[in-house]
Structure formats: structure tokens, C-alpha cells
């Protein structure tokens, strides 16, 4: 019976979990501003939807009584060219379950901006630089007429309640609007916050493991096995330098032990990266935003790849000049650079997976730090196992080709071509990472 319970628990873990995740990612702070021109008055409906990690960082501040006034200080609304004060009419804060047992949070505030005029302008200066959906809407009712506007009249996200799936990869990025209007004569009616639910957050998988209750030895072991699986599945997604690992081991005459060493380096690097990001979030959140580190980590990874490629290419070109030396074969065992191996491993594991980071924060929140550490290590091992497997396949393929009757020059050129490919891939990664730093 106990075995059956464990099996059923495993099926539940593999199935879509009840734990949820924000549709735009765990780091996002999503904003909606609705400028409401109602009759003879102007109102502003401002909504903020915090994903799991910002909720972990900002949740306490958002539940304070003065948060609506704090946000209003960076909401610039002008009527006929003059900035108007925003008076808080109503406020609502709601929590929803998120990934790994961490909550997400939504804040809605309705402000009264006073009497209307012939023109309005709005600019949202809150959370500058933070990732997320940013949307501004301007609309009129009760006799007010909107003449011109730089913003739409309808919200594409239903005021952050339903994000369009086709726009998740390129979310809205509007923080300002200007409009001309003809005010109405009727008294204005402020927008009602109502009881509509926040956006549904779908997800599960690896993050759900940390929130399981009644953990016995069997379920812990099963959870670790599933964390290993999710790490391997994550490694199969784009990134993590799989092509670079293969090219490096071919170009540097790598052995099976080198592929295994790469896996170990990736495991250690990824685990340390997750915990380092956790330290930044917990201790330095006022100075460093965690998602701002990812572009820099991308750049470091790209530069490491370029450096490794240049090193391998230099060694291959040097050996090609001594190709006719009768003793050049004695140097094959020294063709591999330990520094290059470490650099490739670091480049493959330096970017912490956001879901692993969520598991760490959830483990701290649930007082399950030890279990969370085991899950993250298992996840990193799963990620590294794919990297190692690809490395072993590359080595086996190189050995197979070396035994086949191809032209010797082609086989000898393969390591140099692989080294050039590493350099090219590194340069592409570098170019792609530069725009995200601005």
C-alpha cells in the first residue's frame, strides 16, 4: 500500500501541478494605468501585478497603508499642462498562489485627479527598468469626448487579468500617453475595482516539488528523481552551450573523463549561481535587481566562450605547423587545457535557472532550506547530465570518424574547424547580449 501511495504521488508530481507560475515570468512587475475621463472629472486606475520574486521582495511594502501615496509620487498626470495631485479614493491588495508555494500579489488603486480640461498627459515612472507588461489606456464616458489620443481605449490584458498568449514574448511596453478631449458636463463616476480575479497563473513542474506536504523518505527520493528529470529537460531547451561543449571536446581532443569533468563543473557552477542570486535578492535587493544580473552573466558567458575558442584555435594552428614532425603524436595528451575545460563548464552553468531560484526562495519561506538545497543540486545534476551526454556523443562521433576512410586532411582539419566554430558562437552570443545591457 505504501508503494502504491509513492507511485501515485509520483504521478501527481509529473502531472500539471497545483502550484502556479506567473505567465510573464517569475521576475516581472506588471503595470496598468487607465486614465478615465468621466464627465467633468479625471480619474486614474492604477494596477500592479507582482510575480513571485518581486512579491517576495516587495510584498511587505505593498501591504503597508501608505503604498498608494508612494506610487502616486511617481505617477505624473497633467491637465492642460499643469501636474495635478492624485487623491486616493480606493485601494485593494490581493494575493494569489504562485510557483513553489510562493504567492503573487496584485494592487489596485483608484485616484481622483480633479476637474477635467482640454488636454491630459500621463507618465508612469514607477519601477523603471523592471521587466514586465506595461500598459496605458485612455478612455472617456458620461459625456466626455476623446478627440485624439496616443493610447488605446481598451486594455489588451483586461487590466492585467488576462495576458494575451500571443504577446507574452513581446509584452506591451507603454508607460505614457497624451490626449485631447472635450469635457462633459455630468458629474464624474470613478471606476469600480470590483471583484474580478487577477490573471490566472499556470505552471508547475520543478517548482511544485518544494511545496509538497507530508514529505516522507519515499516522497523525498521521488522528488529528487523528478528534480533530476526537470534539470535534464531544462538543459534540452535552447542555451547552456550544448553546441559549444561538443565543439570544444572535438577541437581540444577531449576524452570521456573531460566530458564527465565538464558535468561536474556545470553542476557546481549552477548551484553556486542559484545561491549567489539568492544572496543578492535577500541582502542587496535595495541596490541590485536580480534580473539585471542576467544580461551581465550572459556577457560573461559569451566572453568566456570566445576566450576558450581562441585558445583552442591557437593550439590547433600551432600543431598544424608541426604536422610533419615525427613526434607530434606524443603531444596529444597535452592538447587539452584545464583552464579551457573550467571556462566551458562555467559558461554552461553560470546562468541560474529562474525556476531553481524560485525553489530556493520558496525553501527559505517554507523553512525547508535543506530540502531545497537537495532539490537544486539534483536539478543541477540533471542539467549537467545532458551536457555530459552531449560531450560523450561528440567524443564518440569524433573517434568513429577518425576510424573511417576519409581524407586525412579533412579529419585533421576537424579540430581547427570546431575551434573556429566556438569563436563564432561566442561572438554571436556577445553581440546578442550587448543590447540587453543598455
Q: What is the mean pLDDT of residues 98-113?
A: 87
| Cα separation, 175 vs 124, whole angstroms | 5
Per-range mean pLDDT, top range of 138-152, 153-167, 332-346: 138-152
State the burial class of residue 435 (Cβ atoms within 10 Å of its Cβ: 0-12, 13-18, 19+): exposed
Quote the pLDDT of residue 87.
95
Query: Do residues 390 and 246 make contact, with C-beta atoms less than 8 angstroms apart?
Result: yes
Q: Is the dihedral of CA 109, 110, 112, 115 positive or negative?
A: positive
Mean of all residue pLDDT scores within the chain: 77
Mean of the pLDDT values across residues 76-82?
A: 95
Distances in Å between the alpha carbon of 63 and those of 66, 107, 112, 315? 9, 9, 21, 60
- How does pLDDT run across 225-269, given as a tens digit for each residue? 888 888 888 777 766 566 677 776 766 667 888 888 878 888 888
pLDDT of residue 178: 96
Q: Give the other-Cβ count within 10 Å of 374's Cβ.
A: 16
Exposure on the CB side of residue 272, measured as CA atoms within 13 A = 11
- Which among 118, 387, 400 is positioned nearest to 231, based on CA atoms? 387
Residue spans per domain, the chain: 29-182, 206-321+331-437
Taking the C-alpha atoms of residue 244 and residue 303, their distance in angstroms, rounded to an integer, is 13
Helix axes 338-349, 290-321, angle to 10 degrees: 150
At residue 175, the pLDDT reads: 93
pLDDT, tens digit, for every residue of 297-355?
767 767 776 777 777 777 666 766 665 454 444 444 445 567 777 777 777 777 777 77
Q: What is the 3-state secondary structure (H, E, C) of the chain?
A: CHHHHHHHHHHHHHCCCCCCCCCCCCCCEEEEEEEEEECCEEEEEEEEEECHHHHHHHHHHHCCCCHHHHHHCCEEEEECCEECCCEEEEEEEEEEECHHHCEEEEEEEEEEEEECCCEEEEEECCCCCCCCCEEEEEEEECCCEEEEECCCCCCCCCCCCCCCHHHCCCCCECCEEEEEEECCCCCCCCCCCCCCCCCCCCCCHHHHHHHCCCCCHHHHHHHHHHHHHHHHHHHCCCCCCHHHHHHHHHHCCCCHHHHHHHHHHHHHHHHHHHHHHHHHHHHCCCCCCHHHHHHHHHHHHHHHHHHHHHHHHHHHHHHHHCCCCCCHHHHHHHCCCHHHHHHHHHHHHCCCCHHHHHHHHHHHHCCCHHHHHHHHHHHHHHHHHHHHHHHHHHHHHHHHHHHCCCCHHHHHHHHHHHHHHHHHHHHHHHHHHCHHHC
The better pLDDT of the pair 99, 22 is held by 99
| 387 pLDDT tier (thresholds 50, 70, 90) | confident
| Confidence (pTM) | 0.65
Comparison of pLDDT for 35 and 101, the residue scoring more: 35
Q: Quick one: pLDDT at residue 155?
A: 93
Give me the mean pLDDT over the 388-399 stretch: 79
What digits encode the pLDDT tens for the residues 356-374? 777 777 777 677 778 888 8
Q: Characterize 94-118 residue by residue with b for buried, 16 or more Cβ atoms within 10 angstroms of its Cβ, and e for exposed.
A: eebebbbbbbbbbbbbbbbbbebbe
Amino acid at each position: 500500500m505504501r508503494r502504491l501511495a509513492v507511485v501515485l504521488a509520483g504521478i501527481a508530481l509529473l502531472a500539471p501541478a497545483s502550484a502556479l507560475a506567473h505567465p510573464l515570468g517569475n521576475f516581472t512587475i506588471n503595470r496598468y494605468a487607465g486614465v478615465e475621463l468621466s464627465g467633468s472629472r479625471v480619474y486614474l486606475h492604477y494596477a500592479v501585478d507582482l510575480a513571485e520574486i518581486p512579491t517576495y521582495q516587495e510584498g511587505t511594502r505593498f501591504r503597508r497603508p501608505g503604498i498608494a501615496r508612494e506610487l502616486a509620487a511617481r505617477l505624473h498626470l497633467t491637465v492642460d499642462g499643469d501636474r495635478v495631485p492624485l487623491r486616493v479614493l480606493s485601494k485593494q491588495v490581493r494575493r494569489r498562489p504562485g510557483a513553489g508555494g510562493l504567492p503573487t500579489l496584485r494592487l489596485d488603486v483608484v485616484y481622483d485627479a480633479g476637474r477635467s480640461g482640454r488636454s491630459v498627459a500621463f507618465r508612469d515612472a514607477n519601477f523603471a527598468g523592471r521587466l514586465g507588461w506595461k500598459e496605458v489606456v485612455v478612455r472617456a464616458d458620461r459625456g466626455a469626448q476623446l478627440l485624439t489620443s496616443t493610447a488605446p481605449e481598451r486594455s489588451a490584458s483586461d487590466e492585467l487579468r488576462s495576458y494575451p498568449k500571443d504577446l507574452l514574448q513581446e509584452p506591451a511596453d507603454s508607460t505614457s500617453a497624451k490626449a485631447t478631449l472635450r469635457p462633459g458636463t455630468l458629474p464624474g463616476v470613478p471606476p469600480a475595482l470590483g471583484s474580478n480575479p487577477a490573471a490566472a497563473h499556470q505552471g508547475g513542474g520543478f517548482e511544485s516539488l518544494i511545496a509538497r506536504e507530508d514529505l516522507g523518505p519515499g516522497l523525498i527520493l521521488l522528488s529528487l528523481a523528478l528534480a533530476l528529470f526537470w534539470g535534464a529537460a531544462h538543459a534540452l531547451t535552447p542555451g547552456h552551450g550544448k553546441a559549444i561543449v561538443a565543439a570544444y571536446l572535438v577541437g581540444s581532443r577531449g576524452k570521456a573523463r573531460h566530458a564527465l569533468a565538464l558535468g561536474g563543473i556545470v553542476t557546481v557552477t549552477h548551484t553556486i549561481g542559484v545561491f549567489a542570486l539568492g544572496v543578492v535578492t535577500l541582502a542587496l535587493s535595495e541596490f541590485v535587481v536580480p534580473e539585471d544580473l542576467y544580461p551581465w552573466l550572459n556577457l560573461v558567458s559569451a566572453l568566456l566562450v570566445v576566450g576558450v575558442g581562441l585558445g583552442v584555435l591557437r593550439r590547433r594552428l600551432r600543431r598544424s605547423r608541426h604536422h610533419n614532425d615525427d613526434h607530434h603524436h606524443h603531444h596529444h595528451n597535452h592538447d587539452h587545457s584545464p583552464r579551457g575545460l573550467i571556462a566551458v563548464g562555467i559558461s554552461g552553468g553560470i546562468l541560474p535557472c529562474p525556476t531553481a531560484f524560485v525553489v530556493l526562495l520558496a525553501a527559505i519561506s517554507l523553512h525547508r532550506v535543506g530540502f531545497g538545497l537537495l532539490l537544486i543540486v539534483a536539478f543541477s545534476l540533471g542539467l549537467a547530465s545532458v551536457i555530459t551526454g552531449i560531450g560523450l556523443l561528440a567524443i564518440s562521433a569524433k573517434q568513429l570518424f577518425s576510424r573511417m576512410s576519409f581524407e586525412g586532411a579533412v579529419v585533421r582539419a576537424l579540430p581547427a574547424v570546431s575551434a573556429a566554430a566556438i569563436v563564432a558562437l561566442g561572438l554571436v552570443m556577445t553581440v546578442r547580449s550587448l543590447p540587453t545591457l543598455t
